[in-house]
Amino acid sequence: MTTHHPVTDAVSASREVNPLVKALSLEARPQRPGPVATSLAFAHRALLKIKHVPEQLFDVTLTPIIFTLMFTYLFGGAIAGSTQQYLQYLLPGILVQTVLITTVYTGFTLNTDITKGVFDRFRSLPIWRPAPIAGALLGDTVRYVIASAVTVTLGLILGYRPGGGVLGVLAGIGLLVVFAFALSWAFTILGLVMRTPNAVMGTSMMVLMPLTFASNIFVDPSTMPRWLQTWVDINPVSHLVTAVRGTMGGTVTASQLLWVLVAAASLTAVFAPITMAIYRRRS
């Protein structure tokens, strides 16, 4: 363009004084950060969101409180003879259920980002591609820890006495968080392919409800009909509950632990690449 443009000519007169011009003419191009730094920046964003929208922690904290109280006092006597005895059995299970349900938020948040256009801003940046998702998952583990802390604290108040002590409880929570991190890769797939955040929520719950209820979370499967027992035995949630229960109770076996770790590794190995493939091709 050789011709003068009235607009740009008029503006050039005011260039020196304008703070906008100064801010816009930045020459520096910093070095591109590595995968870890980038993911941590996104994890930090997830934490900021918890800080600004504490409401999202309500169901994370209220659900376990309601479930624990309801099951302990309503059914505890009938199921285990006494509420106190039942609580020892129930609490690790409730903990697992609470954290697994919290994983749904990962897909929900991701889908919200997509529908609001935030996600495309990130995709337009020259960053390590998996970082927005990996970072969000990292940030979500903080949510899992908060949910766990609430559940365990309530349990202790009601009379839950873990045989594994402090270390056992911490190890149990750690095991659960690792598994939840792996499982949330499955929900990121839903987050990427579904149309609305609420659809993600609904579908995820439809998957999680049978998984958590048809398991050994609430009752000993030996009282169930044979066909249901068969299902409960293959339900991965049952294996997770057994391992967490064992860890917190101080009776965990190596094979129980190994099962959870292998399951977590397999979930990540299967779902993370699928998530990333969909993420890359989302166009």
Partner 1 sequence: MTNDHAVEARGLVKHFKTTKAVDGVDLVVPTGTVLGLLGPNGAGKTTTVRMLATLLRPDAGTARVMGHDVVAEADAVRRIVGLTGQFASVDEDLTGEENLRLIARLYGFSGAQARSRTAELLEAFELAEAGGRQVKTYSGGMRRRIDLAASMVISPSVLFLDEPTTGLDPRSRGQVWEIVRLLVADGTTVLLTTQYLDEADQLAHRICVIDHGKVIAEGTPAQLKRSVGTGALSLRVEDPVDRATAAEVVARVLGTPVELSGDVASLAARIPDDDDAPQRAAALLPELQAAGVRVAEFSLGQPSLDEVFLALTGQRTAEETEQEEVAS
Residues in contact with partner 1 by CB under 8 A are: 1, 5, 7-8, 10-12, 15, 18-33, 37-38, 41-42, 44-45, 48-49, 52-53, 113, 116-118, 120-127, 131, 281, 283
Question: Whole-angstrom Cα distance, residue 146 to residue 244?
Answer: 17
Token pair 């968080």 is found at: 177
The span from the CA of 117 to the CA of 122, in Å, is 9
Query: In 3-state terms, what secondary structure has residue 34?
Result: coil
Whether 20 and 116 have beta carbons less than 8 Å apart is answered as: no
Q: Quick one: 32 or 161, whose CB is closer to partner 1?
A: 32
25 or 223, CB closer to partner 1?
25
Select 49 or 274, whichever has its Cβ closest to partner 1. Answer: 49
What is d(CA 200, CA 191) in angstroms, rounded to the nearest whole number?
A: 6
Min dist. Cβ of residue 23 to partner 1 (A)? 4
- Select 58 or 227, whichever has its Cβ closest to partner 1: 58
Phi, psi for residue 52 in degrees, rounded to 5: -85, -30
Instruction: Give the nearest distance from C-beta 142 to partner 1 in angstroms.
Output: 16
Angle between the N-to-C axes of helices 83-102 and 58-70, in degrees from 0 to 180, rounded to the nearest 10: 150
Between 161 and 280, name the residue whose CB sits nearer to partner 1.
Answer: 280
Least distance from partner 1 to the Cβ atom of residue 70, Å: 32
Report the C-alpha gap between 135 and 46 in whole angstroms. Answer: 8
CB of 148 vs partner 1, minimal distance in Å? 24
Taking the complex as a whole, how short is the minimal distance between the CB of residue 136 and partner 1, in angstroms? 12
